[in-house]
């Protein structure tokens, strides 16, 4: 039913760009998925290079037996951003997304929001862009083959990001649900890459220089055992992303040089939750700024224990905000009360009531 409350004319500052799911899909397709991933990775890298400017804290999580709901805030002193995101592995069996999200950017100097955006699609894109960016610094030079264990919603984004940013052109896919592998293979056909469907994790890792694990079950799982991981590989572990949810055998961690986004958060949620709190890890920004070493030798096993961090979401929202200047793929929301006199919010409400009453008399 249409409202009879009269429209008002808010100022430009009261209007907030809103990117819906439909608008995000149009934006991604208008730019092109591969270009979007490549440009997004540049934004993430730019923000990692200025890491020390950001406010940082482990995300605020509310856990239940079904999953988790989290808030992920950060600020660079000029712009504030946060993401609301859930993780409910059981959702897939009920026909729902495992992960959904939305995000906000706001002006620090006024507190006014600058952007409201869906982030279910955008989180998948930023996760893939960050994974490939980390591998650019940590994976063996000349890598061309990646194993992808877990072929759910993230699989195709990962494959396209690694192809675009690292030149990976062979993907060995495995999932305990063969229909997921078929889905990924179908979606990736015609993308200039070779897909090899595998019947086990062991088969998938054969000949791969990069191993990506991305499964959804909230449990201490062993997707990779120690004997499956040879020297010299890079492991991109993105499925272990909350307390009680891991994918790798502990012995793999003890053989690897481990790289993380933000150690205080990863020690709670990542693969390293199984290790002592003082186990040595390196934050990725330190490698990017040359303050710590990344890959040093051909025999080194590097592990990116990725759980997702607020700065990556900030980068993704910043990228989307900048693209809006070149597109109409968004709408303006009237989100901020905008009285003529900032002290007279009540008067604004009462004037609206008077105008509404006039329309029904």
pLDDT single digits (tens) 162-181: 999 999 999 999 999 999 99
69-79 per-position pLDDT tens digit? 999 999 999 99
CB burial string 115-136: b at 16+ within 10 A, e below: bbbbbbbbbbbbbbbbbbbbbe
Least confident of 143-147, 173-177, 268-272, 317-321: 268-272
Least confident of 75-79, 243-247, 337-341: 243-247
Tokens 């869906």, located at residue: 118
pLDDT greater at residue 339 or residue 80: 80
pLDDT greater at residue 2 or residue 302: 302
Per the residue annotation, which of 47, 241, 305, 313 is the catalytic one?
A: 241
Q: Across the chain, what does the average pLDDT equal? A: 92
What is the C-alpha separation between 282 and 263, in angstroms, rounded? 8
**pLDDT above 60 for 8:** no
**pLDDT above 70 for 24:** yes
Tell me if residue 341 is catalytic. Answer: no
At 222, the pLDDT band (50, 70, 90 cuts) reads confident
How is the chain split into domains, by residue range? 15-121+313-335, 140-308
Q: What's the fold here for domain 15-121+313-335?
A: ornithine cyclodeaminase, domain 1 (3.30.1780)
Q: How many CA atoms are closer than 13 Å to the CA of 292, on its beta-carbon side? A: 16
pLDDT at 190: 95
Chain-centroid distance of CA 268 in Å reads 18
Mean pLDDT of 87-95: 85
Mean pLDDT of 297-301: 95
What is the C-alpha separation between 71 and 16, in angstroms, rounded? 21
Superfamily of domain 140-308 in the CATH hierarchy = NAD(P)-binding Rossmann-like Domain (3.40.50.720)
pLDDT at 361: 59
At 117, the pLDDT band (50, 70, 90 cuts) reads very high
């Amino acid at each position: 039913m249409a409202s009879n409350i009269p429209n008002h004319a808010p100022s430009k500052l009261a209007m907030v760009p809103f990117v819906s799911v439909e608008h995000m899909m149009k934006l991604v397709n208008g730019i092109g998925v591969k270009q979007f991933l490549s440009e997004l990775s540049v934004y993430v890298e730019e923000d990692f290079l200025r890491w020390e400017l950001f406010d940082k804290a482990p995300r605020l999580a509310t856990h239940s037996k079904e999953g988790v709901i989290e808030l992920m805030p950060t600020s660079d002193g000029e712009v504030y951003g946060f993401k609301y995101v859930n993780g409910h592995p059981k959702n897939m069996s009920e026909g729902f997304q495992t992960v959904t999200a939305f995000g906000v950017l706001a002006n620090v100097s006024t507190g006014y929001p600058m952007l409201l955006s869906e982030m279910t699609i955008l989180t998948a894109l930023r996760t893939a862009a960050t994974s490939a960016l980390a591998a650019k610094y940590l994976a063996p030079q000349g890598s061309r083959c990646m194993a992808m264990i877990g072929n759910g919603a993230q699989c195709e984004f990962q494959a396209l990001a690694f192809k675009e940013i690292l030149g990976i052109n062979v993907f060995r896919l495995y999932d305990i649900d063969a229909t997921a592998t078929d889905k990924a293979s179908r979606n990736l056909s015609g993308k200039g890459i070779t897909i090899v469907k595998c019947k086990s994790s062991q088969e998938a890792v054969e000949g791969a220089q990069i191993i990506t694990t991305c499964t959804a079950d909230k449990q201490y799982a062993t997707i990779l055992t120690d004997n499956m991981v040879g020297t010299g590989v890079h492991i991109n572990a993105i499925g272990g992303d909350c307390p009680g949810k891991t994918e790798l055998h502990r012995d793999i961690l003890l053989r690897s040089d481990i790289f993380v986004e933000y150690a205080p958060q990863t020690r709670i949620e990542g693969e390293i939750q199984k290790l002592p709190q003082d186990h040595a890890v390196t934050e990725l920004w330190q490698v990017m700024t040359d303050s710590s070493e990344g890959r040093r030798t051909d025999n080194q096993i590097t592990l990116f224990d990725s759980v997702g961090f607020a700065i990556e979401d900030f980068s993704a929202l910043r990228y989307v905000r900048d693209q809006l200047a070149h597109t109409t793929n968004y709408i303006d929301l009237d989100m901020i009360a905008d009285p003529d006199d900032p002290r007279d919010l009540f008067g604004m409400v009462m004037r609206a009531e008077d105008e509404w009453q006039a329309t029904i008399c």
